[in-house]
Structure 1
Amino acid sequence: PRALWPEARSVIALGLSYAPGGDPLATTRLADRGNLSVYARHRDYHDVVKGMLKHLAQFVVAEGARMSVAEGARRSAAQGAGAGAAPGVKVFVDTAPVMEKPLAERAGLGWQGKHTNLVSRRHGSWLFLGEIYTTLDLPRSAPSGGQCGSCRRCLDACPTDAFPEPYRMDARRCISYLTIENPGPIPLEFRAAMGNRIYGCDDCLAVCPWNRFATESRQMKLRARDDLTAPRLADLARLDDAGFRALFSGSPVKRIGRNRFVRNVLVAVGNSGLAALRPVAQALCDDPDPVVAEAARWAAGRLPT
């Protein structure tokens, strides 16, 4: 933390549950639909969590200032010293080189599971993480306890075998990386395993046994939108840039852009096995974006006539 902000003395780490109400993998079994990761079916979590963190940070500053004045008055009476400076704060939600999961573990929110994500006794694997860095010197929290034991459901559930061993992930094989961060073509070796996952992947999170203690998120802004729960692949493939921006306004999906998203959709189309979707793929074989066009030709070549 001090490499990012030398004045920092404490980190307040927080988690917000986004646990779904139903089976998060139900859509992966629908050939003509696209499956978006649970966290991408509603408002952009960066905005939601950061807004909440800013409110809390304001309280931290006010409370820290009050404590500083009280301490200054005590010192002044004893030693003639003045009041201390007001505390500083910075908030982060996946927006800087912050080691969120180790910090959350130290703060007692849970532990890093074999899938490398944080696991909570109360909320399972469905947690957004955020941090408030502050110049206040705060007492440390106790560890929460908990462990994965001999369970390896998350490792076995990964469609692309992205876990070479427990607690270690090869991001180059992860569907979340491939569909979101990867700007080029999806490597051929992973396309069939992707199924209809068009933005992110929840498989390793969804099978975690600790999720039996999780309850559906109470945050209305994190409730899934009906039109993003099981969207039709045919409709998504036909999106132009304007249509894409309109559909995903306020969604984290918007940041990857139309071309990367339609590339993902075409891989799902190619995996559908549905002859009815072949014309959808053929219509994009000459798309101006070469990555989209290549994915369309691949998809059309896999589908029956």
Structure 2
Amino acid sequence: MELRAYWGVVRRRLWLVILVVAIAALYVAYQGYHLWKTPGALKAYHSTVTVQVGLQPAPRSMIPSYIEDMQVAEALADAVPSVVTMPGFDQAVANQIGQDMQAIQARYGSNPDLGDWQNPGAIAGALSASRVHNLVTIDVSWPTAPGAWAIANAVGEVLTSHLNTYLDYIIEGTPGTAVNGQQLQPAAIGRLVSPASDPAPGSGSAGNRLTLLAAILLVSLIIGLALAFLVDYLDDRLRSAEEVVELLQLPVYGELPRAPRAGERSAERRVPPAPVS
């Protein structure tokens, strides 16, 4: 009986549930279309490159021990993920891609689809980095396979060639070697451990938003049902004899039928007159 009562509420307020779900569906459809039209949002190619961070070989007086050297290298590796998002790094990667164009064409043909590789902002948004000890892996997510490999390859070249220019650090407690009264610091270097990998298809930068959009539809259905029960609870009109008995605690001996609306045909069928013989 309770289930029938619940279904009656939903059926009476079905228009409200449909309205809420329809509004949410329009929003989801708009966002989904926008993601589908954005290159690399739902589907992208991933290429990774791994660089080992360390210190340039120097006199023993500058590096007291191997353990300290490793600690410094790991500390510098911690800063590399912020280097790839540093202003100017993305432009350096774009410039390196232009210099590598001959190698890219040798790998992917004379007219490779590199995407918007000349846009530094797009390159910065495609990079993510993770560290294990003093090994830093940079992942590139890009709409095209040649572009993903070209960016990953350029990132590895920039880090191995100019890493020291992006790191501002001081090794405290190191005696160092003085030249003209100025203490020298061992330079941070990057060594390519794993070159740019072959691009592999995967989810794009906004792939997890599809799950969020599906969740929005489910939540909108729940909200619509909740509003339907709330509106029905606030409506104090009596709709059936059962509600009257429950409210007044009195028996019902009869009911008046609903008056037909204007233009509505009577439910009763007229009996045709008997034929006269």
With the length of structure 2 as denominator, give the TM-score of the two structures: 0.24
More strand by share: 2
Query: 1 or 2 for the larger relative contact order (CA 8 Å, sep ≥6)?
Result: 2
Larger radius of gyration: 2
With the length of structure 1 as denominator, give the TM-score of the two structures: 0.22
